[in-house]
Amino acid sequence: MNIVFILDPLDSLNGDKDSSLAIMREAASRGHTLYVSMQHDLFLRGAVARINVNKFTFFEQNFLTEEAIEYSPADFDAVIMRKDPPFDNEYLYSTYLLDIAANQGAKVYNNPSAVRDWNEKLSVSRFPQFAPEFLVTANNDLIREFLNEQQDIVVKPLDGMGGSSIFRLTLHDPNLSVILETVTNFGHRTIMVQRYLPAILQGDKRIIVIDGEPLPYALARIPKAGETRGNLAAGGTGLAQLLSARDVDIAKTVGKALKQAGLFLVGLDVIGDYLTEINVTSPTGMVEIAKQTSCKPAQVFMDALERH
């Protein structure tokens, strides 16, 4: 197959941990031809979707890229969107362009319309039976009411990643007012507010779902001392562990809806028994699971992609 990956700048990727590179290495080992593009390499000529791509080859522990050539996205067997958030206007525009490309015959993973529709924080509202108590608002008074009810909460933006701008708040936090003013931009930015889950101390579990089916292992991201965020980008430690019965129930139920929506690779975040996020843009954790268990997520991904 000829596969193009839309990525963040290559020099920003961690070769030892990056899930995109792990998938690409697996694809290369199977004889597939790889190409890479950046977000703004996708464009329209009139009504026709086009993309500039660089042929990509692994070379020992490094890689080589050739000069960019313009193609139609439909020329490839798969176009895999792996650009990291924030999900800003530029990301939104990319999903529109990928929609046009898909309508012109391109096979895009994940489905760009679904990426747009399944906000990574808001999508837990589709599965209230699994979600902790939560509130979505820009209204600071409503957030304070929720805090009075729950006593201990977490606030986070709707478009971030890696634990950025996430705060834990209690009733007597001396910085309560300024934090709420900051995260809501004085009541002009809608945020997610969730009940704080003490089980975060045992890890924020990343469950990887591929073509509707969860891997048997989750990556529990355990916060470092004094921290309430388990994200690896925030200093958390990743520990692979078998899915619990509750994890399986969540992942199987959500996985059916994901597959129906065309969301091929997704990372579910579960704290204790609760689903807290549904990551549809560029979920990670594959490398850590592969290193610690007999499960090889990149192989599972490529098996599923080849079936498609």
Give the catalytic positions in this structure.
121, 156, 206, 221, 229, 269, 277, 279
Rg (CA), the chain: 20
DSSP-H helix ranges across the chain: 19-29, 89-103, 112-117, 140-150, 176-183, 245-261, 286-292, 297-307
- The DSSP secondary-structure symbol of 125 reads G
Is 71 in a helix, a strand, or coil?
strand
How is residue 235 written in tokens?
């200093």
> Is residue 277 within a helix (H) or strand (E), and if so which, with residue range?
strand 274-279
Amino acid at residue number 265: L
In sequence order, what are the beta bridge partners of 81? 6
Element at 168 (helix H, strand E): strand 167-170
- Choose among 11, 277, 42, 285: nearest CA to 160: 277
**Are 205 and 197 in contact, with CB atoms under 8 Å apart?**
no
- CA proximity to 5, closest of 174, 25, 91: 25
Q: Are 179 and 169 in contact (CB under 8 A)?
A: yes
DSSP 8-state class, residue 292: H
